[in-house]
């Protein structure tokens, strides 16, 4: 059990969900700003300028990658919470936490 505890404790210290949530938040912010730029370009132009289409594609890619990062972050958070619960359970069984 002590070997399992040391293995799980090392795995529980790695918090990838935080990085993924941060990435999703930054991409969401960039997506919102770029959406505003694209909307302003469409509103002010009779025909969209040529550089609108690459910006719109980048905007879509930011949205999709931000959603993917958020979903991965949620999945990693669930895994991390299960690991933490198991580590707490093992620490209680071994008498480390009273």
Per-domain residue ranges for the chain?
2-93
Q: How far apart are CA 95 and CA 84, in angstroms?
A: 16
Confidence of residue 63 (pLDDT cuts 50, 70, 90): very high
pTM of the entire predicted model: 0.81
Helices (H) and strands (E) in the chain, counts: 3, 0
- Mean per-residue pLDDT for 51-66? 96
Which residues, 6+ apart, have CB-to-CB distance to 74 below 8 Å? 17
DSSP state of 46: S
* pLDDT cut 70: percent of the chain above it: 99
Confidence of residue 98 (pLDDT cuts 50, 70, 90): low
* pLDDT cut 90: percent of the chain above it: 61
Q: How far apart are CA 62 and CA 45, in angstroms?
A: 24
- Mean per-residue pLDDT for 61-70? 97
């Amino acid at each position: 059990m002590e070997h399992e505890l040391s293995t799980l404790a090392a795995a529980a210290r790695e918090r990838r969900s935080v990085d993924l949530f941060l990435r999703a938040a930054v991409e969401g912010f960039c997506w919102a700003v770029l959406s505003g730029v694209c909307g302003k370009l469409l509103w002010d132009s009779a025909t969209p300028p040529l550089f609108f289409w690459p910006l719109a594609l980048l905007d879509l890619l930011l949205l999709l990658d931000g959603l993917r990062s958020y979903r991965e972050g949620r999945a990693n958070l669930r895994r991390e919470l299960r690991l933490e619960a198991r580590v707490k359970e093992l620490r209680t069984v071994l008498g480390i936490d009273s």
